[in-house]
Structures are given as structure tokens and as C-alpha cells.
């Protein structure tokens, strides 16, 4: 994870800081959609352990930390769906309350994101061609520096059986070139800034003008809490922060296609 400002900003006035509400939400609100498992009791000691480990100076050993967590009888799904988001929320609160710097929260969330590479299967170049697979193209905006939320969503989609490819800030021609070369059942935009919605709208129009049978297009991310009428502004089929809802949109399209084929 990279950022243009990695200095300690605790001495800055709130108005001069990098958008307090946006950054705090990037590690709190964008991760607020919990799985059904999250209704279970959350072990505060595990959250503290994750926060402490990601804030520690020096080298970060993801394998050792995960081994410690699994020894505590936690499953990979619980770590991904519950404890990484909870640790991210805690980091966000610590930043807002001036306990840690912008640089610290950036490094710590990057380390949390790094845990996902050990917990979730990676995207494979061999996209699914079977009836049960669902190929998803996730598009992040070039201006998005904190990407833990989208990577958590990708991990959850993969656990549902989807193959997920992530593109970082592609131009609209690159998107359609990829979609013409490979079959996708769902396009999912992630966005954290309202000023990027117009650009997404242009990409959505481009996709539909260049593809004969474009897949459903959904949008999620921090921007859902920053502005309204997002569906109208972007032209997407669905606006949601719930990956399960987006995945069902993909299933409906595939079922409809099957019924037409019969």
C-alpha cells in the first residue's frame, strides 16, 4: 500500500489533515458490513493481538502471527470476516484520537491486507469456464490508497466460489480489452471518493457500448456513505456494500441466460 503523505500529521489542524472522515471511514465504515458469524462474541484479546502485531516496529512476520491465531482455535474465515475488520476499526479509532500517526495506520492496514495472501486463495489466470464458477472483475480507482476493504471483499467472493481479478486504476479501453479476451460474470467497482463517480460512469458507458452482452455491474466502497444517488450518477446496475448481494446479481444474470438458452 502506498500513500503520498507518510509523515506524522498529528500536529496538523483538522482542516489541514488528509480528509479525517474519509480516512477514518476507509478503515472503519468501509469494513462495517459483518458476516453472520460476526454476531458471535468477538474476543477482544485477539483484536488487541492483531493491532499490537501490526503496529510493532521492525519486521512483520505474517506466518508467525497466523500460526498464533490458529493455535487460539480461530478459523481462516473468522480471521478474514471478523478479526481483520475489527483490528482495522481499532486502528481507525486510534488514528482519529491521535494515538497513532497517518504513517502508522497506513503501515498497519497494509500488514493486515498482507495477511489475506495467506488466508485467501489468490486470483488465478485460469478463469472458470464451468457452470458453477463465477468470474468477477473488480476495478479499483487510481486515487484509492487504502485498499484493505476491497481485498477483504475479494477474499469473501473467492470463498463463495468466484474467481476474482483486481485492476488498479485502469483506463476504460484496458477494461474492455480484458473483458473481450476473457469472460466475466460480474464487474464490481470499488470507490472511496465522490469525485470519481463521473469517471466510473464513463467506464460503465464504454463497457456497454463495446460489449454485445455485458455482465451486471455493481459498485461498492466508502463512497456509499459520502453521497447519494450513486446509481443514477454512475449507471451501474446495483449499489451495495454487501458482496453477497453483488454475487446474487451475478447468479440472476447467469440463471436468466440459461433459461433463454433453453
Q: Which residues pair with 140 in a beta bridge?
A: 168, 190
C-alpha distances (whole Å) from 153 to each of 60, 81, 144, 230, 247 are: 23, 9, 15, 20, 11
Q: Which CATH class is domain 134-261?
A: alpha beta
**In whole angstroms, what is the distance from residue 47 CA to residue 78 CA?**
12
**Contact of 25 with 121, CB cutoff 8 Å:** no
Below-50 pLDDT ranges, the chain? 1-39, 124-126, 130-131, 255, 258-262
pLDDT at 176: 97
pLDDT at 7: 33
C-alpha distances (whole Å) from 92 to each of 100, 109, 261 are: 9, 9, 49
Q: Which residues pair with 187 in a beta bridge?
A: 137, 217
pLDDT at 261: 43
DSSP assignment letter at 161: T
Domain range summary for the chain, segments of one domain joined by +: 14-119, 134-261
pLDDT at 200: 97
> Which grid coordinates belong to 89?
476499526
Amino acid at each position: 500500500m502506498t500513500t503520498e503523505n507518510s509523515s506524522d500529521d498529528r500536529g496538523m489542524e483538522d482542516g489541514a489533515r488528509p480528509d479525517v472522515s474519509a480516512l477514518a471511514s476507509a478503515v472503519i465504515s468501509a469494513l462495517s458490513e459483518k458476516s453472520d458469524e460476526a454476531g458471535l462474541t468477538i474476543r477482544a484479546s485477539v483484536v488487541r493481538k492483531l493491532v499490537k502485531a501490526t503496529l510493532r516496529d521492525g519486521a512483520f512476520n505474517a506466518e508467525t502471527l497466523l500460526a498464533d491465531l490458529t493455535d487460539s482455535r480461530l478459523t481462516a474465515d473468522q480471521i478474514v470476516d471478523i478479526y481483520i475488520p475489527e483490528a482495522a476499526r481499532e486502528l481507525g479509532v486510534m488514528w482519529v484520537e491521535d494515538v497513532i500517526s497517518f504513517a502508522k495506520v497506513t503501515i498497519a492496514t497494509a500488514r493486515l491486507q498482507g495477511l489475506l495472501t495467506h488466508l485467501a486463495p489468490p486470483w488465478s489466470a485460469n478463469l472458470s469456464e464451468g457452470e458453477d464458477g463465477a468470474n468477477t472483475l473488480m476495478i479499483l480507482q487510481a486515487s484509492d490508497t487504502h485498499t484493505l476493504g476491497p481485498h477483504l471483499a475479494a477474499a469473501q467472493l473467492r470463498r463463495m466460489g468466484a474467481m476474482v481479478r483486481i485492476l488498479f486504476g485502469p483506463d476504460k479501453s484496458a477494461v474492455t480489452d480484458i473483458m473481450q479476451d476473457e469472460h466475466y460474470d460480474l464487474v464490481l467497482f470499488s470507490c472511496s471518493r465522490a469525485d470519481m463517480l463521473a469517471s466510473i460512469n464513463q467506464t460503465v458507458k464504454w463497457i456497454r457500448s463495446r460489449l454485445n452482452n455485458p455482465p451486471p455491474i455493481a459498485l461498492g466502497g466508502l463512497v456509499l456513505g459520502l453521497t447519494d444517488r450513486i446509481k443514477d450518477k454512475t449507471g451501474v446496475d446495483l449499489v451495495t456494500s454487501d458482496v453477497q448481494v453483488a454475487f446474487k446479481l451475478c447468479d440472476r444474470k447467469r440463471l436468466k441466460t440459461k433459461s433463454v438458452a433453453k
